[in-house]
Chain A
Amino acid sequence: MKSKTKLNQTSFLLLITIVLFFAMYMIGCILFKDQGFAKTQNFLNLFISNAGLIVIGVGMTVVMITGGIDISVGSFVAMGCMMLAWMMEKGGVGAVPAVLIVLATGIVFGLVQGFLVAYMDIQPFIVTLAGMFFARGMTAIISKDMISITNVTFMAWAKAKVYLPFGGRLNKKGVMIYPYIYPTVIIALLILIAVFIMLKYTKFGRSIYAVGGNEQSALMLGLNVRKVKLKAYILDGFLCGVGSILFCLNTLGGFVEQAKGFEMDAIASSVIGGTLLTGGVGNVIGTLFGVLIKATIEAFITFQGTLSSWWTRITIAALLCFFIVLQSVLAMIKKKK
């Protein structure tokens, strides 16, 4: 009998991602010790600035496990932020209804895209490409000018700090300062855990893997492949809605060019986290670490100070290259066995 603790290919990739993240963080701590890289707050900032990306990355992972892709997420975030800003500032809608409307829009968006992919058999890339154009154009139709949010309730949500009861350090005046996070981080992590459990233990979660692994055999096993795909896109749409709200709580405004290239960040995070674009393989925990790796690279560049911003993209691409080649080599070794 095979020992259960033996690492399979997927957990090996996940392990590498996690080890790499901690290694990078350690290097950062050593290199930028004087600037406070090692502070607990700095670690938490990785989560704070990327709460939206975590949620959207999770949605992307779910869709990618079914063998699809969603490149409309960046534009949707722009549209979601713009909708929130416009409704609260120009439309006189309260913060709660505005948030609910954005969530509903996300679900409808997912429903339409899911229908076109699952029931019309159009390639996910083309469908979500159209979705991307649509959402970005809609943002411009709502308003061409930037709208900043001043709504009192929304600002209160955005500014509500949650202090952690541990990890505090004394400042220069001798006052104990505890590290803090925003509620957005808690929401993001709760969603991550919920989706993790859903993928691992529920019937729906397992059918997502089955459909992505082999559509034909899933069909033969009696799974309603189209329905599973549709549901996956609806879930993804909902998570996009949540993600855009979290993103907006961080940026507090809406403008047309917002979150450009966000979809590629989400895809790159998923791929670095071990999700295969061919479907059937993937893990949301990996996606979280993918996001954190991207955040660490950005933190590196901020702390270093002299490097230009484009080094972020080049480094991420190099990492992507490393992981992708590793995945393919592992797959080849497995095949030879």
Chain B
Amino acid sequence: MKNESLKNITSQRLFLPVFCLALVLLVNIVTTPNFFAIEVRDGMLYGYIIDIINRASELVILAVGMTLVVSSSAGTDISVGAIMAVSAAVCCNILTGGERAATVYASPLILGFIAAIIVGILIGCFNGFLVAKLNIQPMVATLIMFTAGRGIAQLITDGQITYVRVDSYRTLGASIPGIPVPTPFIVAVIVVAATALLLKKTALGMYIQSVGINKKSSSLMGIKAIMIIFLTYAYCGFCSGLSGLIASSRIYSADANNIGLNMELDAILAVAIGGNSLGGGKFSIAGSVIGAYTIQALTTTLYAMHVSSDQVPVYKAVVVVIIVALQSPGFARWRKSLAQKKVKEAA
């Protein structure tokens, strides 16, 4: 019985996000007939669908971190894009040994990766400290890193684009030889699966939700609310650092101004489209992941319809407003009053 009602709830929560994604994809059957075609070239899969799956990877990883932050602290981390830039800068700078371009690694690849991810976690901890310990509004607290992040990244790379022209550096953003699926997708799947497993198998997921619903009463119940909030921010920092690496590997360079640009907005949108309340509390990782793919599907769809890249935001904005308005309490109220009217008329 309990299991059944639980299933009911999840199916309802995820209904709208899935519906939206399906709608976006359906449009393509009419406009771009070859949208769903997948072909194999040189042992790699190609096609619009693969493109969506590939390009959405960073966003999916960010959305996972963002979901936890939103849930625990009822606020958003707007510094994720800036963290991506910093972690990319750190990684490339270590790999080139401080030069602006390199064709051989100055340090082992793994060292660059680990340093970049540690920097991401550290920035996440800084955000977490401000939010959890000092009780600062999440958006304001992360505004600091949002403002400083790209400045720091430029400081590290000396204001120039740092290139790592080594083939193996591109593996993370492209593909591993012999595996037909793009690497970013594999990384995203691992992150989502690991996070879901961690939240399901331990009580962490429940703690995060309970802190998000009522911080005070959770503390009284013996949950270390401050620690939970701190951890979600640190984890979000980890996710940002990892996406920064993927984004940097795609262009085999660190571009302090453009890596992760506006990604924080897309990540927050993904969470909202996924049906998660930005007011904290209950969350669904699956919803956010679907939200992330919806955003990327929308972008790719628009490109397939030959909309230029700087005009894409207009259509994105309109679709987002419609999707969010459909899920809003205001719309629900209106629908309810309409239904009541009908009942009255019938009676």
Interface residues of A (CB under 8 A from B): 69, 116, 119-123, 125-127, 129-134, 136-138, 140-141, 144, 256, 264, 267-268, 271, 276-278, 308, 310-314, 316-318, 320-321, 324-325, 327-329, 331-332
Contacts and interface: CB of A to CB of B under 8 A. Distances in A.
Contact of A310 (B154, B268, B269): B154
A133 B139 contact: no
B147 A313 contact: yes
A332 B136 CA distance: 11
A140 B310 CA distance: 6
A interface, by DSSP: helix, strand, loop or mixed? helix
B317 A133 contact: yes
Interface stretch (B13-21, B165-173, B232-240, B319-327): B319-327
Contact of B143 (A123, A268, A276): A268
A291 to B, nearest CB: 15
Interface of B: 76, 130, 134-137, 139-141, 143-148, 150-152, 154-155, 159, 265, 268-269, 272, 278-279, 308, 310-318, 320-321, 324-325, 328-331
B137 A268 contact: no
A131 B269 CA distance: 13
B313 A137 contact: yes
9 contacts: A125-B139, A133-B320, A136-B313, A137-B310, A140-B310, A277-B140, A310-B150, A311-B151, A327-B136
A272 to B, nearest CB: 11
Contacts of B272: 123, 126
A320 to B, nearest CB: 5
A123 B310 contact: no
Given A122-B328, A264-B147, 13 more contacts: A122-B325, A125-B268, A126-B269, A137-B310, A144-B308, A310-B159, A313-B147, A317-B145, A324-B144, A325-B134, A325-B136, A328-B135, A329-B134
Contacts of A325: 130, 134, 136
A314 B145 CA distance: 9
A321 B318 CA distance: 35
A328 B137 CA distance: 9
B159 A120 contact: no
A186 to B, nearest CB: 30
A267 B151 contact: no
A254 to B, nearest CB: 14
B139 A310 contact: no
B151 A317 contact: yes
Contact of B144 (A321, A331, A332): A321
Given A123-B278, A125-B278, A277 B137 contact: yes
Given A122-B330, A123-B278, A317-B147, A129 B137 contact: no
Contacts of B308: 140, 144
B315 A137 contact: yes
Which of B154, B279, B329 has the most chain A CB atoms inside 10 A of its CB? B154
A125 B328 contact: no
A45 to B, nearest CB: 23
A121 B134 contact: no
Contacts of A329: 134
B317 A137 contact: yes
A46 to B, nearest CB: 20
Contacts of A310: 150-151, 154-155, 159
Which of B76, B152, B311, B316 has the most chain A CB atoms inside 10 A of its CB? B311
Which 8 pairs from chain A and chain B are nearest by CB? Answer: A137-B314, A317-B148, A120-B330, A137-B313, A134-B317, A140-B310, A313-B151, A133-B313
Given A121-B329, A134-B318, A277-B140, A313 B135 contact: no
B321 A130 contact: yes
B155 A314 contact: yes
Contacts of A121: 328-330
Contacts of B329: 120-121
Which of B130, B151, B152 has the most chain A CB atoms inside 10 A of its CB? B151
A277 B130 CA distance: 15
B146 A264 contact: yes
Given A130-B321, A313-B150, A314-B152, A140 B330 contact: no
Contacts of A141: 311, 314
Contacts of B150: 310, 313
Given A136-B313, A328-B134, A271 B140 contact: yes
Which of A127, A144, A267, A313 has the most chain B CB atoms inside 10 A of its CB? A313
B142 to A, nearest CB: 11
Nearest to B310: A140
Which of B150, B278, B310, B315 has the most chain A CB atoms inside 10 A of its CB? B310
Which of B130, B148, B279 has the most chain A CB atoms inside 10 A of its CB? B148
B143 A320 contact: yes
Contacts of B137: 276-278
Given A121-B329, A313-B147, A116 B312 contact: no
Contacts of B328: 120-122
Given A310-B155, A314-B152, A324-B130, A268 B147 contact: yes
B330 A119 contact: yes
Contacts of A264: 143, 146-147
A141 B312 CA distance: 10
B324 A122 contact: yes
A127 B324 CA distance: 9
A132 B265 contact: yes
B155 A116 contact: no
